[in-house]
Every structure is written in structure tokens, then in C-alpha cells.
Amino acid sequence: MALPMRSLFTDPDRYLQSFRLFLANSTEHQCMQEFMERQLPSVIGSIGNGKSAINILSVGGGAGEIDLLILSKIQARYPGVTINNHVIEPSADQIFKYKEHVAATSNLENVKFTWHEETAYEYESRMSAEKKTKKWDFIHMIQMLYYVKDVSATIRYFHSLLEEQAKLLIILVSGTSGWETLWKKYGSSFPLGDLCCYVSSADIKRILDSAGLKCQLHELPSHMDITSCFIEGNKDGELLLDFLTETCEFSKTASPELKHQVMEELRKPGCSQERDGKVLFNNNLSAIVIEP
Ligand SMILES: C[S@@+](CC[C@H](N)C(=O)[O-])C[C@H]1O[C@@H](n2cnc3c(N)ncnc32)[C@H](O)[C@@H]1O
């Protein structure tokens, strides 16, 4: 009998393996790097004006690669100013890797790191139980809003913690990406459970508009090479397919009909482009900058 489909999050090792493969096969981090080089300097241009210390909150900071890049830009804009960098991150494993990255990075003398091993919601609950409302000069939530139960409430809470000249930066998949096409059509056939939900910049824009919050939106072009997904039995292809559908062992557990439909969809222009014999999935991201 066929195995039932289950969420990729029920197998943390396989999830991490497929996530690493996704990073290796996509321009995800390169396109974020480009944004940090070209656009971040103007986004953070006034967050630290007149301050003796800059307070930064990273929500879902992961292993810290992008956080460290952000810190280098803030240091360049405000040389010598003390930076308090707090990180909310529920995975002990990710925090461990973050600390390793910090230890391997030079020029961080003026940065003080504090890690909170908890979810965004646990942080909010703890702060309200302790009757604390610490404010921040820069808050970022990069590729993490898929994992919160209430996206709108999470954005509203962290937005309420912004100082006067502060900014809130959200980066997540774009409403013009292949993710949007695939998930709007087949999301209900994938076994997500309550650990993850599909959201794109189109959803965030609607949430911000209805909350009356002003934002600027930047499109960050990115792709993922999914050619190996079309080679029957290819291990990397199977892992990437798991990542795309957030399903553990999608190839083995999806019905033949669903598998056929998803494979067809992945090749179509709404999801991918074929270039030089490769199938490149549209992994465009959006960076959304919100003011207080
Ligand atoms: C896809 S990773 C992104 C990491 C990093 N921001 C980056 O862009 O490389 C998502 C991160 O969010 C964390 N996460 C998951 N659920 C969360 C929650 N409810 N609150 C805060 N962080 C969460 C995960 O542990 C993971 O490190």
C-alpha cells in the first residue's frame, strides 16, 4: 500500500537537507546579497540618526548569514556606533550555527549579540507577561512568515515595536514567483499541517493595505535550477521536489496523477523558464520596507 503524504517538517533532517540543496541550486542568497548591497543602505539611511546605540531585532534569523551581511551595512553607515543585535530563533541547531558564523567573522567588536531561543509568538507572549515593550531601530523578518500561525497579527505586533525613524523589513517569495502559481493551484493537495502556510508578497500587501500601513516594495529576481527534478530516480531532484511541495518523499507518496500534474505545472511558463537545457524555477522574492 502507498505511504500517506506527510509534511516535510515532520522530518527535520530531510527538511534541512532539502533546504541546503535549495540554497545551493538557487540564487536565493545571491539575490538577497544584491539587495543588501544596492538597496539596504538607503533603507537604513536614517535609523540610527542621533543614537548612541542601534537596536536590531532579527525574527527567524536562522544561521545568521544574511543577518551578518545586514550588520556589516549598518556598521558601514554608522561607524563605531554600538549595535545591540537580538535574534528570535526557535531552532537550537540554527542558533548554534549562527554563533559559529559570528565567531568566524571579524570586525564585530561593537556588536553585542543576544539570542532568544523561541518563536515570534513566544517572544510576544513573554514580553507581554513581563510587561515589557522594548522598541527597535530595525526589525527584519526574512523568509520566515510562512511559519507563523497568524501572519497579520505578527506583522502588526512587530510593527508596533518600531522606534520613530525605524524600519521593518520583510523578505519573502514574490506574488509573481513560480511558488505563487504552484501553491495557488496545488497547495490544498500538499500536506502542510499547521507548521507552515503559504504566503507571498501579494498577501502581505493586502494585509498592510487593510491595516493602513505604508510600504515600499522591491522585486528581487531569483531562480532555482530544478532540472534534476525531471530525471527519474535522481536523489537531488527528489529532495528539491520535496522542498517545492513541502512534502516528505513527494515522488514516492503522491498519487501518480498528482505527481504528473505537478511535474507538468513545474515546466510551464507560470513556474519556470527553459534556458540552455536547464529548467529554471522562478524564485523571485520581494523585499517590503514598512515605516512606523
Ligand atoms: C527559511 S529560514 C530563514 C533563515 C534566514 N532568515 C535566512 O533568510 O537565511 C526560516 C527560519 O525561521 C525560523 N522559524 C520557524 N518558525 C518560526 C517562528 N514561529 N518564529 C520565529 N522564527 C521561526 C526557522 O527556525 C528558520 O531558522
Dump pLDDT digits (tens) for 252-278.
999 999 999 999 999 999 999 999 999
Q: Looking at ligand 1, which atom is closest to the CA of residue 141?
A: 6
| Confidence band, pLDDT 50/70/90 cuts, at residue 196 | low
Q: If you ran DSSP here, which 8-state letter would residue 35 be given? A: H
Q: If you ran DSSP here, which 8-state letter would residue 254 be given? A: S
What integer pLDDT is reported at residue 88 of this predicted model? Answer: 98
Locus of grid cell 530516480: 233
Q: If you ran DSSP here, which 8-state letter would residue 195 be given? A: S
Name residue 226's amino acid: I
Give ligand 1 pocket residues (Cβ under 6 A).
Answer: 59-62, 65-66, 88-91, 94, 119-120, 142-144, 147-148
Q: What is the mean pLDDT of residues 155-175?
A: 97
Least confident range of 187-201, 228-242, 261-275: 187-201
Locus of grid cell 520613530: 164
- Note whether residue 278 is domain-resident: yes
Q: What is the mean pLDDT of residues 77-103?
A: 96
Other CB atoms within 10 Å distance of the CB of residue 172:
23
Pairing of strands 162-173, 215-220: unpaired
pLDDT at 193 over 70: no
Name residue 86's amino acid: H
Q: How far apart are CA 165 and CA 208, in angstroms?
A: 19
| Confidence band, pLDDT 50/70/90 cuts, at residue 2 | low
Three cell numbers written together for 287: 523585499
Q: How far apart are CA 177 and CA 221, in angstroms?
A: 9
Q: Looking at ligand 1, which atom is closest to the CA of residue 140?
A: 6
Residue owning the nearest CA to atom 11 of ligand 1: 60
CA of 147 to the centre of ligand 1 (A): 7
Report the domain count for the chain: 1
Domain CATH code at residue 56? 3.40.50.150
Q: Which helix (H) or strand (E) holds 124?
A: helix 120-129
Q: Mean pLDDT for the chain? A: 94
Q: Looking at ligand 1, which atom is closest to the CA of residue 149?
A: 19
| Contact present, 286 and 172 (Cβ < 8 Å) | yes
- Note whether residue 202 is domain-resident: yes
Q: Looking at ligand 1, which atom is closest to the CA of residue 94?
A: 27
pLDDT at 180 over 50: yes
Residue owning the nearest CA to atom 25 of ligand 1: 91
What integer pLDDT is reported at residue 86 of this predicted model? Answer: 98
Least confident range of 9-13, 184-188, 238-242: 9-13
What integer pLDDT is reported at residue 85 of this predicted model? Answer: 98
Instruction: Of 179, 168, 165, 166, give the one whose Cα is nearest residue 211.
Output: 168
- Note whether residue 242 is domain-resident: yes
Strand ranges across the sheet with 285-290: 111-116, 82-88, 53-59, 136-142, 162-173, 285-290, 215-220
Q: What is the mean pLDDT of residues 10-30?
A: 93
Least confident range of 5-19, 169-183, 201-215: 5-19
Q: Distance from first CA to last CA of the chain, Å, rounded?
A: 55
Residue owning the nearest CA to atom 27 of ligand 1: 62
Q: How far apart are CA 253 and CA 248, in angstroms?
A: 8
Give the CA distances from residue 252 to residues 117, 244, 260, in Å, rounded to whole numbers and listed in that order: 35, 15, 12
What integer pLDDT is reported at residue 1 of this predicted model? Answer: 47
Q: How far apart are CA 169 and CA 209, in angstroms?
A: 16
CA of 212 to the centre of ligand 1 (A): 26
Residue 50 — φ and ψ, nearest 5°? 75, 15
CA of 120 to the centre of ligand 1 (A): 10
Domain assignment of residue 250, given as a range: 8-44+51-290
Name residue 195's amino acid: L
pLDDT at 234 over 50: yes
- Note whether residue 196 is domain-resident: yes
CA of 171 to the centre of ligand 1 (A): 12
- Note whether residue 2 is domain-resident: no
CA of 11 to the centre of ligand 1 (A): 16
Residue owning the nearest CA to atom 22 of ligand 1: 60
Three cell numbers written together for 2: 502507498
Per-residue pLDDT tens for 116-133?
Answer: 999 999 999 999 999 988
Q: State which of 27, 69, 124, 147 you would mutate to test the pocket of ligand 1, scoring each by most atoms of that ligand within 8 A of its C-beta.
A: 147
Strands (E), the chain: 53-59, 82-88, 111-116, 136-142, 162-173, 215-220, 223-225, 272-275, 278-282, 285-290
- Note whether residue 3 is domain-resident: no
- Note whether residue 240 is domain-resident: yes
| Contact present, 65 and 95 (Cβ < 8 Å) | no
Residue owning the nearest CA to atom 15 of ligand 1: 147
Regarding predicted confidence, which is higher, 78 or 10?
Answer: 78
Residue owning the nearest CA to atom 26 of ligand 1: 62
Q: What is the mean pLDDT of residues 59-72?
A: 96
